[in-house]
Amino acid sequence: MHRIRQINGVKEFYAGLIFIMIGIVAFVWAQEYEIGSATQMGAGYFPSVLGIVLVGLGAMSVVHGYRLKIPDPIPKHKLEPLFLILASIISFALLIDRTGLIVAIFVSVFLACFRRALTNPIEVFLTFVALAAFSAVVFVHLFGMIIPLFWWD
């Protein structure tokens, strides 16, 4: 019997599998559109080529992960940062229409930087001020997007 070889580069191996799956899905979905040619590209041309490139990169990553000699395990991660980032995104989406851009950014930054806010609140506050000022100037004033800055707008 043959002994199954252990995969040392599990990160590269699994990342390659994900690339291959996404590439196949992109290629299959692109077939619903006209492909065209390199000189007369249709709507499905770029997604098709992108899918092929992703499958190729994924295959190279799978081979590299399989051939890696030194073990490179996936480290254990804490779930708290993932939940805080998710809560930050959801809170921004729920608050922007009700409370305005400034409050939504404040809550979002506070949740995303929760642990940092406990140790360095001034740094988190300055991040909020910079993001709020940048967003107000660029999106509201320069791009003219209709986003209330505060709940009373």
Same-domain check for residues 133 and 87: yes
Q: Is residue 48 part of a domain?
A: yes
Asked whether residue 36 is domain-assigned, the answer is yes
Give the model's pLDDT for residue 41.
86
Half-sphere exposure of 108 (CA within 13 A, CB side): 21
Claim: this prediction has a pTM higher than 0.85 = no
Which residue segment(s) compose the domain that 97 sits in?
A: 80-142
Indicate whether 31 belongs to any domain. yes
10 Å Cβ neighbour count for 55? 19
Kindly report, residue by residue over 47-98, the tens digit of the pLDDT: 999 999 999 999 999 999 888 888 777 778 889 999 999 999 999 999 999 9
d(CA 140, CA 69): 53
Q: What are phi and psi of 41, to 5 degrees?
A: -70, 135
pLDDT of residue 105: 96
pLDDT for the residue 25:
96
In this structure, is residue 74 part of a structural domain? Answer: no
> CA–CA separation, 75 vs 44, rounded Å?
39
Judge whether 14 lies within some domain. Answer: yes
Coil, helix or strand at residue 106: helix
Q: Give dist(CA 15, CA 143) in Å, integer.
A: 37
Q: Is residue 153 part of a domain?
A: no
Domain count, the chain: 2
